[in-house]
Amino acid sequence: MGWKRGIALFIAFQVIIGCSSESNSEINRGSFPKGFVFGTASSAFQYEGAVKEDGRGPSVWDIFSHTFGKITDFSNADVAVDQYHLYDGDVQLMKDMGMDAYRFSISWSRIFPNGTGQINQAGVDHYNNLINSLLAKGIEPYVTLYHWDLPQALEDRYTGWLDAQIIKDFAVYAETCFQKFGDRVKHWITFNEPHTFAVQGYDVGLQAPGRCSLLGSLFCRAGNSATEPYIVAHNVILSHATVANIYRKKYKSKQRGSIGASFDVIWYRSATNSTADIEATQRAQDFQLGWFLDPFIFGDYPFSMRSRVGSRLPKFSKSESTLIKGSLDFVGINHYTTFYASNDSSHIIGLLNDSLSDSGAITLPFKDGKAIGDKANSIWLYIVPEGMRSLTNYIKKMYGNPPVIITENGMDDPNSPFISLKDALKDEKRISYHRDYLSNLLASIKEDGCNVNGYFAWSLLDNWEWAAGYTSRFGLYFIDYKDKLKRYPKDSVQWFKNFLTST
């Protein structure tokens, strides 16, 4: 797709579309098309705990989280919310709410403790038990193969995602999962937020494996912020395409499943009506969603990336382009918030010489001293429900209206010792968040014709939130970290129960 058309689309979506014509209070499951899927989402490293049990090998996040100064509250996920042992009760919580599906990830190092080689049967048994428990309660499993927890053995052996060997090893791991679980799992997500772990892990160094070259490498022990994010992303894209090809050739006809990937997408609103800011807004999206979705839909990176990154951006061969294009059965979208975007006319950010500065766009959640929306707990999460509708319309227009699943959406409250349990369970702000985002999603489906087929709330439970540790609570259920990880329903649980049982 030409860059001029992309900019034209962004101009069209800078005007806020607004909320659904239906009253927010009236929406419920019955408002959505028949067969629309509602669920909650999680990841293995944030939920499971039991990091040294039943043969599991260490992941890059085990090492990173135990490195001093990397986690805000100096915590780790060795126990997390102990879903490894408590999964059966958690499945019952989902059933009680009326959820249709559960999105969870498989820990690669539970299946292959060394990344490759001998299969760990205890790990296979655990996921078989979880899948069977879900199905027994009428809950459909949506399985993510990779949610950031690379086996540390592969990082040690050949620097993981920086080496093309990872494509072969990921394919073996993925195919093993198809063989062991594919008779019951019909919805596969190869990667969760490749943009996030490419940038946060290999550009700014704030997530595992913590590589960067910014600030004279004072923060990171190794890395090259100008090249490594692009190499990692390239290998991820080729890994997905390779695995999708294997699934379609060897398993799809019998298992009858689908395979997609989940992408993190902040919606960007141009800070002004100037041509420079509008063009910068498009570039910001090109360097976020377009970086990954353009190859899968069109067979190559966005023009703005190819022209601005130049020789630092790896190239796809003709055969690779053919393999990649069309390899998504559905597009997973993790959407939480909206930022303003403007042109980096001062080139201050450009001095960083990395993937963030290459776009030539500055993205912030405020302008002229005013926030774009009400703030949640996370420093990056501002509540802008209209962004959901604008984003899904953009995907429809830019990419030909592919099947979309909202694989994550939610907001967090602070984990404060000064907030009583009683008050922590009163999460009206979360209820309003989900209601308003769902209202805009519904409008995009019913009024705009967007091809969206599911919605997964992040998250069922409060959990360990990566570099934020336990300082953030995204859950519908409150976890009492001081009392045996007891689960307490917040008011949002009852809201979802009412929403899902009303038609």
Residues catalogued as catalytic: 193, 408
Residue 242, token pair as written in the block: 């390779």
Q: Measured at the alpha carbon of residue 328, what is the angle toward residues 325 and 329, in degrees to the nearest 5?
A: 135
Residue 358, token pair as written in the block: 């290459």
* Rounded distance between C-alpha atoms, residue 221 and residue 375, angstroms: 34
Residue 60, token pair as written in the block: 């890059």
Are 160 and 60 in contact by the 8 Å Cβ rule? The answer is yes
* Rounded distance between C-alpha atoms, residue 263 and residue 189, angstroms: 10
- Residue 503's Cβ-count burial label (10 Å; 0-12, 13-18, 19+) is exposed
Range 283-300 burial, b when 16+ CB lie within 10 A, else e: bbbbbbbbbbbbbbbbbb
Crossing angle of helices 228-250 and 165-181, in 10° steps, is 40
* Rounded distance between C-alpha atoms, residue 316 and residue 322, angstroms: 9
Residue 183, token pair as written in the block: 């008779």
| Alpha helices (H) along 105-193 | 108-111, 121-136, 152-158, 165-181
| Alpha helices (H) along 348-414 | 355-358, 386-399
* Bridge-based pairing state of the strands 413-414 and 472-473: antiparallel
**SS3 track for 311-335:** HHCCCCCHHHHHHHCCCCCCEEEEC
Q: How many CB atoms lie within 10 A of CB 89?
A: 11
Q: How many CB atoms lie within 10 A of CB 49?
A: 22
- Residue 352's Cβ-count burial label (10 Å; 0-12, 13-18, 19+) is middle
